Amino acid sequence: MLINEKFFYKEEEKVNTIGVFKNPTQILYGLGVTDQIRKIIDEQNYKNILIITDAGIVKTGLINQITRQLDNINYSIYDQTQPNPTVKNCNDALDLLREVDADAVITMGGGSSIDVAKAVCLLATNSGSIKEYEGIDTCVNELLPLIAIPTTAGTASEVTTFTVITDEVRQYKLTVGGVKIAPKWALVDPLVTLSLPKHITASTGLDALVHAIESYTSKMANPITKALAREAIRKISNNLRQAVYNGDNITARDNMLMGSLLAGLAFNNTRLGNCHALSHPMSAIYGVAHGVANSILIPHVMEFNTLAVPELFSDIAEDMGENLEGLTLMERAAAAVDAVKKLSKDIGIPTTFSEYKVDESQIDRMAKDAMLSGNIAANPRITTYEDVIELYRRSIGGVLVEVI
C-alpha cells in the first residue's frame, strides 16, 4: 500500500498540470483592426456608447478612428483619465455613462483608460463604489460590454481579468479581479501605437517584459503560460530598442504589441511577482508611472529571485540572446539580470527612484501595502516583510543592504 501511494505520487509529479487556462476576451489582432468597431456595434445592436480615453489620446487625433465610425450612434467621450487612474475618474466616467444611458463602452488608450473602463462597466450593473470590489470575483452581476483598443504595448489590460485603480484617499492601488472583468472584445492594432513617444514606448515596453519575466517565474506558471511568456520575452527583447529609437518601424511596433499581448495572456493566469507588488505602492504614493516603477525595480527583484530558481532565469537569459557558452548555472541566471540592465540603459530608463525623493519613513508603509498584494504569493522566492524593505532600500538609491 505504501509503495503504491509513493508510486502514484511520483507519477503525478511527472504530469504537466494546467488547471484552468482562462481567456474570456475575443481578440482581433492586425493592422487596421480598429476599423472593425462599427461591425461589432451593428451586430450587437448597440445604440448609446460611452468612450473612455485620456486627453493625450484625444490630442493625437487617434480618437477620430473611433468617432468616424459612429454615424447615427449616440455617444459621449470621457477623456479625463489620469495615469494611475483614480476612484474619482471611475465615478466621473460613471456619471457620464448614466447621462448617455450607454449600452456598451469603448475604451482607447493605455492601461489607465482600459482599467477605468473596466471599473465603469462593473459599476454600471453593480451598485456602490469600486473601492467595495477589491479582491477576486467580488461582483455579482455581469458587466456592461466593453470593447478595448490598447494604444500602449505594455499592460495588456485589453485581455486581463483585472482592473487596478488608485484610491487617492488611502494612496493605495486596489486590484479588482475575476473573469467578468475582462473586456468582451480586444481590437489589438499596431498602427495605433505608432504615435507613442519615445519615453512611453520605453517604460511601457519594459513593463510588458516584466510581465513576461514575472509570469514565467511565477509559482503558478504552467506549460501554456510558460510558452506564451518565453515568446513574449523573445519578441520584446528583440524589438524594444528599435521601437524606441525608430518609432515608425511598424515591424518593431507589431512585435512589441504582440509581445505585450502574449505576456498578458500568460500573467492573466499566473499573477505576477514582487516587482508588481512593490511598484504599486510606489505609484500610489509618489505618482511614479507604472512602467517606470517596474523598470527600476525589476533588476533588484531578479537578483533576489535568481537564488530560488536559477534554471528559469537561465532560460530568460537564453531568450534575451545572451551568450551562455561555458557559464555555470548561476552565471547564466546572472546573465538574465545583466541583459535586462543593458536593455534599460539602452532605452534610457532611470536606475533608481532617487529623483522621486522617496522618504525613508514611508518605506515601512509601502512594504506593508506591498505584502497585501496577491503577487507576493506567486513570487518564486518566499518573501518576507524584511525582504521587501531591503528591496525598496536598494531601488531608492539609499542605503545598500545585501539581500541574501
Grid coordinates standing for 403? 539581500
| Minimum CB–partner distance for residue 6 and Fe ion (Å) | 42
Residue 310 binding result from ligand NAD, Fe ion, none, given CB thresholds of 5 to 8 Å by partner type = none
| Minimum CB–partner distance for residue 290 and Fe ion (Å) | 6
Grid coordinates standing for 87? 476612484
| Minimum CB–partner distance for residue 45 and ligand NAD (Å) | 28
Neighbouring-strand partners of residue 107: 52, 148
| Minimum CB–partner distance for residue 173 and Fe ion (Å) | 11
For residues 199 and 154, the answer to whether their CB atoms sit within 8 Å is no
H or E element at residue 342: helix 329-346
Residue 113 binding result from Fe ion, ligand NAD, none, given CB thresholds of 5 to 8 Å by partner type = ligand NAD
Is position 322 an interface residue for Fe ion (rule: CB under 5 A)? no
| Minimum CB–partner distance for residue 25 and ligand NAD (Å) | 12
Q: How many CB atoms lie within 10 A of CB 217?
A: 28
| Minimum CB–partner distance for residue 157 and Fe ion (Å) | 9
Neighbouring-strand partners of residue 149: 108
Helices (H), 186-328: 198-217, 223-245, 250-267, 274-286, 290-306, 310-319
Distance of CA 4 to the CA centre of its chain: 44
Residues near ligand NAD (CB under 6 A) are 54, 56-57, 60, 83-85, 109-113, 115, 151-152, 154-155, 157, 160, 162-164, 192-193, 195-196, 200, 204, 207, 290-291
Give the nearer residue to ligand NAD in terms of CB position, either 86 or 314: 86
Residue 57 binding result from ligand NAD, Fe ion, none, given CB thresholds of 5 to 8 Å by partner type = ligand NAD
Grid coordinates standing for 115? 482599467
Give the nearer residue to ligand NAD in terms of CB position, either 33 or 200: 200
| Minimum CB–partner distance for residue 150 and ligand NAD (Å) | 7
Residue 183 binding result from Fe ion, ligand NAD, none, given CB thresholds of 5 to 8 Å by partner type = none
Residue 226 binding result from ligand NAD, Fe ion, none, given CB thresholds of 5 to 8 Å by partner type = none
For residues 189 and 34, the answer to whether their CB atoms sit within 8 Å is yes
Residue 269 binding result from Fe ion, ligand NAD, none, given CB thresholds of 5 to 8 Å by partner type = none
Q: Would you give the binding string for Fe ion spanning residues 194-233, x where CB under 5 A is met?
A: -------------x--------------------------
| Minimum CB–partner distance for residue 267 and ligand NAD (Å) | 8
Q: How many CB atoms lie within 10 A of CB 89?
A: 26
Distance in angstroms (rounded) separating the CA atoms of residues 6 and 124: 53
Distance in angstroms (rounded) separating the CA atoms of residues 144 and 291: 28
Give the nearer residue to ligand NAD in terms of CB position, either 97 or 164: 164
Give the nearer residue to ligand NAD in terms of CB position, either 155 or 239: 155
Residue 163 backbone dihedrals phi, psi, to 5 degrees: -130, 140
Give the nearer residue to ligand NAD in terms of CB position, either 160 or 237: 160
Tell me 179's DSSP state: G
Residue 205 binding result from Fe ion, ligand NAD, none, given CB thresholds of 5 to 8 Å by partner type = none
| Minimum CB–partner distance for residue 197 and ligand NAD (Å) | 6
Give the pairing of strands 162-167 and 172-177: antiparallel
Residue 193 binding result from Fe ion, ligand NAD, none, given CB thresholds of 5 to 8 Å by partner type = ligand NAD
Give the nearer residue to Fe ion in terms of CB position, either 84 or 255: 84
Sign of CA dihedral 315, 227, 261, 305: negative
Q: Which amino acid is at 81?
A: T
For residues 399 and 393, the answer to whether their CB atoms sit within 8 Å is yes
Give the nearer residue to Fe ion in terms of CB position, either 324 or 377: 377
C-alpha distance from residue 366 to each of 43, 203, 360, 377, 404 (Å): 47, 22, 10, 17, 21
Give the nearer residue to ligand NAD in terms of CB position, either 69 or 260: 260
| Minimum CB–partner distance for residue 211 and Fe ion (Å) | 6
Residue 109 binding result from ligand NAD, Fe ion, none, given CB thresholds of 5 to 8 Å by partner type = ligand NAD
DSSP string, 8-62: HHHHHHHSPP-------SEEEESTTGGGGHHHHHHHHT--EEEEE-BHHHHHHTT
Grid coordinates standing for 140? 455579482
Give the nearer residue to ligand NAD in terms of CB position, either 208 or 317: 208
Binding site for Fe ion (CB under 5 A): 207
